[in-house]
Amino acid sequence: MSTPRAAVIHDLSGFGRCSLTEVIPILSVMGVQCCPLPTAFLSTHTGGFEGFTFLDMTEELPRAAAHWRSLGLEFQAIYSGFLGSERQIGIVADFIRDFRGPDTLVVVDPVMGDDGKAYQTYTPAMCAGMGRLAELADVITPNLTEAAFLLGREYGDLLDGGRALHDEAALRRLAEELSLGGRRSVALTGAALAPGQTGAMCFDARTGRAEAVQAAFVAHPLHGTGDIFSSVLTGALMGGASLRDAAAQAVDFIHACALRTVAQGLSLREGVDFEPLLGRLVPR
Ligand code: PXL
Protein backbone atom coordinates (compact mmCIF):
# COMPACT_ATOMS: atom_id res chain seq x y z
CA MET A 1 0.00 0.00 0.00
CA SER A 2 1.40 3.43 -0.85
CA THR A 3 2.11 5.88 1.96
CA PRO A 4 -0.79 8.34 2.34
CA ARG A 5 0.10 12.00 1.98
CA ALA A 6 -1.21 15.02 3.87
CA ALA A 7 -0.85 18.74 3.21
CA VAL A 8 -0.43 20.32 6.65
CA ILE A 9 -1.10 24.04 6.90
CA HIS A 10 0.11 25.29 10.31
CA ASP A 11 2.71 27.66 11.72
CA LEU A 12 6.27 26.65 12.53
CA SER A 13 7.13 27.77 16.06
CA GLY A 14 10.81 27.18 16.80
CA PHE A 15 10.47 26.68 20.56
CA GLY A 16 7.53 25.57 22.71
CA ARG A 17 6.03 22.46 21.18
CA CYS A 18 2.97 23.15 19.04
CA SER A 19 1.70 23.09 15.47
CA LEU A 20 4.26 21.78 12.90
CA THR A 21 6.77 20.62 15.53
CA GLU A 22 4.00 18.30 16.74
CA VAL A 23 2.09 17.66 13.51
CA ILE A 24 5.05 16.40 11.48
CA PRO A 25 6.51 13.87 13.96
CA ILE A 26 3.07 12.56 14.94
CA LEU A 27 1.78 12.04 11.41
CA SER A 28 5.13 10.63 10.28
CA VAL A 29 5.21 8.02 13.04
CA MET A 30 1.63 7.11 12.13
CA GLY A 31 2.77 6.36 8.58
CA VAL A 32 1.68 9.54 6.82
CA GLN A 33 3.89 11.62 4.53
CA CYS A 34 3.62 15.26 5.64
CA CYS A 35 3.90 18.13 3.19
CA PRO A 36 4.03 21.33 5.27
CA LEU A 37 2.78 24.72 4.15
CA PRO A 38 3.98 26.95 7.02
CA THR A 39 1.62 29.85 7.65
CA ALA A 40 4.18 31.76 9.74
CA PHE A 41 7.54 31.27 11.39
CA LEU A 42 7.65 32.28 15.04
CA SER A 43 10.56 32.08 17.46
CA THR A 44 8.13 30.60 20.02
CA HIS A 45 4.37 30.09 20.20
CA THR A 46 2.31 33.00 21.49
CA GLY A 47 1.08 31.47 24.74
CA GLY A 48 3.19 32.45 27.72
CA PHE A 49 6.13 34.01 25.86
CA GLU A 50 6.75 37.74 25.39
CA GLY A 51 8.69 39.30 22.52
CA PHE A 52 8.35 36.40 20.09
CA THR A 53 9.25 37.01 16.44
CA PHE A 54 6.59 36.48 13.77
CA LEU A 55 7.33 36.09 10.06
CA ASP A 56 4.08 36.10 8.10
CA MET A 57 4.21 33.61 5.18
CA THR A 58 1.00 34.79 3.48
CA GLU A 59 2.73 35.77 0.22
CA GLU A 60 4.52 32.43 -0.01
CA LEU A 61 1.49 30.14 0.41
CA PRO A 62 -0.20 30.68 -2.99
CA ARG A 63 3.19 30.46 -4.72
CA ALA A 64 3.94 27.12 -3.08
CA ALA A 65 0.40 25.88 -3.84
CA ALA A 66 0.79 26.87 -7.51
CA HIS A 67 4.05 24.93 -7.70
CA TRP A 68 2.41 21.87 -6.16
CA ARG A 69 -0.44 22.17 -8.67
CA SER A 70 2.07 22.27 -11.53
CA LEU A 71 3.53 19.01 -10.17
CA GLY A 72 0.08 17.41 -10.13
CA LEU A 73 0.38 16.52 -6.41
CA GLU A 74 -2.54 14.75 -4.77
CA PHE A 75 -3.29 14.55 -1.05
CA GLN A 76 -5.29 11.99 0.90
CA ALA A 77 -5.76 14.63 3.60
CA ILE A 78 -5.59 18.39 4.00
CA TYR A 79 -5.22 19.51 7.61
CA SER A 80 -5.09 23.16 8.67
CA GLY A 81 -4.52 24.84 12.04
CA PHE A 82 -3.02 28.14 13.25
CA LEU A 83 -3.14 30.80 10.52
CA GLY A 84 -0.90 33.85 10.24
CA SER A 85 -3.21 36.47 8.72
CA GLU A 86 -6.79 37.17 7.70
CA ARG A 87 -5.86 36.83 4.03
CA GLN A 88 -4.68 33.26 4.63
CA ILE A 89 -8.27 32.19 5.22
CA GLY A 90 -9.15 32.70 1.55
CA ILE A 91 -5.83 31.17 0.48
CA VAL A 92 -6.43 28.01 2.54
CA ALA A 93 -10.03 27.83 1.29
CA ASP A 94 -8.76 28.02 -2.31
CA PHE A 95 -6.18 25.33 -1.52
CA ILE A 96 -8.90 23.02 -0.21
CA ARG A 97 -11.10 23.64 -3.27
CA ASP A 98 -8.19 23.08 -5.67
CA PHE A 99 -6.67 19.98 -4.07
CA ARG A 100 -9.71 18.19 -2.67
CA GLY A 101 -10.41 14.91 -4.47
CA PRO A 102 -13.47 12.69 -3.96
CA ASP A 103 -11.77 10.82 -1.08
CA THR A 104 -9.68 13.62 0.46
CA LEU A 105 -10.19 14.03 4.20
CA VAL A 106 -10.33 17.74 5.10
CA VAL A 107 -9.63 18.48 8.77
CA VAL A 108 -9.87 22.08 9.92
CA ASP A 109 -8.72 22.73 13.46
CA PRO A 110 -10.28 26.18 13.91
CA VAL A 111 -7.40 27.39 16.09
CA MET A 112 -8.43 30.75 17.55
CA GLY A 113 -8.05 30.74 21.31
CA ASP A 114 -8.43 29.07 24.67
CA ASP A 115 -9.93 29.75 28.09
CA GLY A 116 -12.51 32.10 26.56
CA LYS A 117 -9.91 34.37 24.93
CA ALA A 118 -8.53 34.71 21.40
CA TYR A 119 -4.77 34.14 20.93
CA GLN A 120 -2.64 37.33 20.77
CA THR A 121 -2.35 37.37 16.96
CA TYR A 122 -6.03 36.57 16.22
CA THR A 123 -8.33 39.48 15.29
CA PRO A 124 -12.16 39.31 15.34
CA ALA A 125 -12.08 39.31 11.50
CA MET A 126 -9.77 36.28 11.53
CA CYS A 127 -12.10 34.48 13.92
CA ALA A 128 -15.08 35.21 11.65
CA GLY A 129 -13.08 33.98 8.65
CA MET A 130 -12.09 30.81 10.49
CA GLY A 131 -15.79 30.02 10.80
CA ARG A 132 -16.19 30.28 7.02
CA LEU A 133 -13.10 28.12 6.43
CA ALA A 134 -14.41 25.48 8.83
CA GLU A 135 -17.55 25.17 6.65
CA LEU A 136 -15.36 23.38 4.07
CA ALA A 137 -14.20 20.71 6.53
CA ASP A 138 -15.18 17.07 6.83
CA VAL A 139 -14.00 17.19 10.46
CA ILE A 140 -13.48 20.10 12.85
CA THR A 141 -11.71 19.93 16.22
CA PRO A 142 -12.65 23.05 18.23
CA ASN A 143 -12.08 23.46 21.96
CA LEU A 144 -14.90 25.03 23.98
CA THR A 145 -13.60 28.57 23.37
CA GLU A 146 -13.48 28.00 19.62
CA ALA A 147 -16.92 26.39 19.75
CA ALA A 148 -18.28 29.60 21.27
CA PHE A 149 -16.58 31.68 18.54
CA LEU A 150 -17.93 29.39 15.78
CA LEU A 151 -21.47 29.62 17.15
CA GLY A 152 -21.27 33.38 17.81
CA ARG A 153 -21.95 32.87 21.53
CA GLU A 154 -20.32 34.24 24.63
CA TYR A 155 -17.93 31.66 26.12
CA GLY A 156 -19.49 32.32 29.52
CA ASP A 157 -22.96 31.49 28.17
CA LEU A 158 -21.90 28.24 26.53
CA LEU A 159 -23.11 25.22 28.51
CA ASP A 160 -25.51 27.35 30.48
CA GLY A 161 -22.89 29.57 32.05
CA GLY A 162 -20.93 26.59 33.36
CA ARG A 163 -23.93 24.89 35.02
CA ALA A 164 -24.03 22.32 32.18
CA LEU A 165 -20.25 21.85 32.09
CA HIS A 166 -20.40 18.14 32.93
CA ASP A 167 -23.79 17.52 31.34
CA GLU A 168 -23.41 14.81 28.70
CA ALA A 169 -26.65 15.73 26.93
CA ALA A 170 -25.65 19.42 26.72
CA LEU A 171 -22.20 18.53 25.35
CA ARG A 172 -23.83 16.19 22.82
CA ARG A 173 -26.19 18.98 21.70
CA LEU A 174 -23.23 21.35 21.34
CA ALA A 175 -21.33 18.89 19.12
CA GLU A 176 -24.48 18.33 17.04
CA GLU A 177 -25.00 22.07 16.68
CA LEU A 178 -21.41 22.47 15.45
CA SER A 179 -22.01 19.81 12.78
CA LEU A 180 -24.06 22.22 10.61
CA GLY A 181 -27.06 19.92 10.47
CA GLY A 182 -24.93 16.75 10.29
CA ARG A 183 -22.84 17.89 7.31
CA ARG A 184 -19.48 17.66 9.08
CA SER A 185 -18.01 15.63 11.90
CA VAL A 186 -17.01 17.34 15.12
CA ALA A 187 -14.52 16.40 17.83
CA LEU A 188 -15.17 18.94 20.57
CA THR A 189 -12.13 18.95 22.87
CA GLY A 190 -11.99 19.82 26.54
CA ALA A 191 -15.36 18.10 26.99
CA ALA A 192 -15.58 16.63 30.51
CA LEU A 193 -18.48 14.40 31.57
CA ALA A 194 -17.52 14.70 35.22
CA PRO A 195 -15.04 16.60 37.39
CA GLY A 196 -11.63 14.91 37.21
CA GLN A 197 -12.14 13.82 33.62
CA THR A 198 -11.50 15.36 30.23
CA GLY A 199 -11.73 14.29 26.62
CA ALA A 200 -13.79 14.90 23.54
CA MET A 201 -17.44 14.79 22.49
CA CYS A 202 -17.51 13.42 18.97
CA PHE A 203 -20.36 13.88 16.50
CA ASP A 204 -19.79 11.51 13.58
CA ALA A 205 -21.45 12.75 10.38
CA ARG A 206 -21.21 9.20 8.94
CA THR A 207 -23.41 7.67 11.64
CA GLY A 208 -25.29 10.75 12.82
CA ARG A 209 -24.39 9.83 16.41
CA ALA A 210 -22.49 11.67 19.15
CA GLU A 211 -20.27 9.76 21.59
CA ALA A 212 -17.85 10.94 24.26
CA VAL A 213 -14.35 9.65 24.97
CA GLN A 214 -12.80 10.41 28.34
CA ALA A 215 -9.58 10.10 30.31
CA ALA A 216 -8.57 11.20 33.80
CA PHE A 217 -7.86 14.95 33.85
CA VAL A 218 -4.27 15.98 34.60
CA ALA A 219 -4.88 19.20 36.48
CA HIS A 220 -2.26 21.43 34.87
CA PRO A 221 -2.61 23.95 32.07
CA LEU A 222 -0.58 22.39 29.26
CA HIS A 223 0.31 24.03 25.98
CA GLY A 224 -0.04 22.46 22.55
CA THR A 225 -2.40 19.64 23.50
CA GLY A 226 -4.99 20.76 20.92
CA ASP A 227 -2.48 20.31 18.10
CA ILE A 228 -1.51 16.87 19.41
CA PHE A 229 -5.18 15.89 19.57
CA SER A 230 -5.93 16.96 16.00
CA SER A 231 -2.72 15.42 14.65
CA VAL A 232 -3.34 12.00 16.23
CA LEU A 233 -7.00 12.18 15.18
CA THR A 234 -6.03 12.97 11.57
CA GLY A 235 -3.43 10.19 11.46
CA ALA A 236 -5.87 7.65 12.89
CA LEU A 237 -8.68 8.70 10.52
CA MET A 238 -6.27 8.37 7.58
CA GLY A 239 -5.49 4.86 8.84
CA GLY A 240 -9.19 3.97 8.65
CA ALA A 241 -10.26 4.42 12.29
CA SER A 242 -13.76 5.62 13.18
CA LEU A 243 -14.04 9.16 14.59
CA ARG A 244 -14.65 7.77 18.07
CA ASP A 245 -11.68 5.40 17.98
CA ALA A 246 -9.43 8.10 16.51
CA ALA A 247 -10.46 10.52 19.28
CA ALA A 248 -9.92 7.82 21.93
CA GLN A 249 -6.38 7.24 20.67
CA ALA A 250 -5.70 11.00 20.77
CA VAL A 251 -7.14 11.42 24.29
CA ASP A 252 -5.16 8.43 25.65
CA PHE A 253 -1.93 9.68 24.08
CA ILE A 254 -2.34 13.19 25.51
CA HIS A 255 -3.11 11.72 28.92
CA ALA A 256 0.16 9.73 28.87
CA CYS A 257 2.14 12.77 27.67
CA ALA A 258 0.55 15.01 30.31
CA LEU A 259 1.40 12.60 33.14
CA ARG A 260 5.01 12.42 31.96
CA THR A 261 5.29 16.21 31.62
CA VAL A 262 3.84 17.01 35.03
CA ALA A 263 5.90 14.27 36.74
CA GLN A 264 9.07 15.92 35.44
CA GLY A 265 7.93 19.38 36.54
CA LEU A 266 8.60 20.81 33.09
CA SER A 267 7.71 24.43 32.34
CA LEU A 268 4.17 24.26 31.03
CA ARG A 269 4.73 26.71 28.20
CA GLU A 270 7.24 24.23 26.68
CA GLY A 271 4.32 21.99 25.78
CA VAL A 272 3.89 18.33 26.63
CA ASP A 273 6.91 16.04 26.55
CA PHE A 274 5.55 13.81 23.79
CA GLU A 275 8.65 12.76 21.83
CA PRO A 276 9.67 9.76 23.99
CA LEU A 277 6.11 8.40 23.69
CA LEU A 278 5.80 8.65 19.90
CA GLY A 279 6.40 4.90 19.55
CA ARG A 280 2.93 4.31 20.99
CA LEU A 281 1.43 5.78 17.82
CA VAL A 282 3.07 3.33 15.41
CA PRO A 283 0.18 1.48 13.70
CA ARG A 284 -0.06 -2.16 14.82
O1 PXL B 1 -1.50 25.37 19.78
C2 PXL B 1 -2.11 26.44 19.13
C3 PXL B 1 -1.09 27.43 18.67
C4 PXL B 1 -0.45 27.22 17.46
N5 PXL B 1 0.48 28.07 17.01
C6 PXL B 1 0.85 29.15 17.74
C7 PXL B 1 0.24 29.42 18.96
C8 PXL B 1 -0.75 28.53 19.44
C9 PXL B 1 -1.38 28.79 20.73
O10 PXL B 1 -1.02 29.65 21.48
O11 PXL B 1 0.62 30.49 19.66
C12 PXL B 1 1.89 30.07 17.21
User: Is the minimum distance from the CB of 42 to ligand 1 under 6 angstroms?
Assistant: yes
The residue whose CB lies within 8 Å of the most ligand 1 atoms, and thus the one to mutate among 45, 53, 108, 229, is 45
99 Cβ neighbours under 8 A, 6+ residues apart: 7, 65, 68, 69, 73, 74, 75, 78
Whose C-alpha lies nearest to ligand 1, atom 6?
45
**What is the rounded CA–CA span in Å between residue 142 and residue 130?**
11
pLDDT in tens, 143-164: 999 999 999 999 989 988 888 8
Ligand 1 in contact with 247 (CB < 6 A)?
A: no
Ligand 1 centroid from CA 177, angstroms: 26
Per the structure, the complete domain to which residue 170 belongs is given by 5-268
pLDDT at position 220: 83
Average pLDDT over all residues of the chain: 96
Using one digit for the tens of pLDDT, what is the confidence trace for 181-196? 999 999 999 999 999 9
150: in domain:
yes
pLDDT tens readout for residues 189-222: 999 999 999 999 999 999 999 999 999 999 888 8
- Residue 174 scores a pLDDT above 90: yes
pLDDT of residue 226: 97
Tell whether the model's pLDDT for residue 82 goes beyond 90. yes
* pLDDT for residue 170 is more than 90: yes
Residue nearest to atom 10 of ligand 1 (CA): 47
The answer to whether the CB of 49 is under 6 A from ligand 1 is no
- Taking residues 28-40, report their average pLDDT: 98
Confidence band for 268, pLDDT divided at 50, 70 and 90: confident
> Over pLDDT 90: what percentage of the chain?
91
Distance in angstroms (rounded) separating the CA atoms of residues 116 and 42: 23
CA 97 → CA 43, 90, 104, 129, 234, distances in Å? Answer: 31, 10, 11, 16, 19
Ligand 1 site, residue 142, Cβ cutoff 6 A:
no
The CATH number of the domain where 224 resides is what?
Answer: 3.40.1190.20
Q: Does residue 273 lie within any of the structural domains?
A: no
Averaged pLDDT for residues 265-277: 92
Instruction: Report the C-alpha gap between 27 and 259 in whole angstroms.
Output: 22
How many helices and strands, by DSSP H and E, does the chain display? 8, 13
* Residue of minimum CA distance from atom 12 in ligand 1: 45
Examine residue 283 and state whether it is found in any structural domain, yes or no: no
Query: Mean pLDDT over residues 69-78, rounded?
Result: 98
Q: How many structural domains are present in the chain?
A: 1
**Does residue 227 line the site of ligand 1, with CB under 6 A?**
yes
Ligand 1 atom at shortest distance from the alpha carbon of 223: 1
Mean pLDDT of the 266-281 span:
94
Could you tell me the pTM of the whole model? 0.98
Is the residue at 50 inside a domain?
yes
What pLDDT does residue 159 have? 84
The confidence band for 266, taking pLDDT boundaries of 50, 70 and 90, is confident
Whether the predicted pLDDT of 10 surpasses 90: yes
The residue whose C-alpha atom lies closest to atom 7 belonging to ligand 1 is 45
DSSP state of 86: T
Question: Are residues 26 and 278 in contact, defined by beta-carbon separation less than 8 angstroms?
Answer: yes
pLDDT at 165: 87
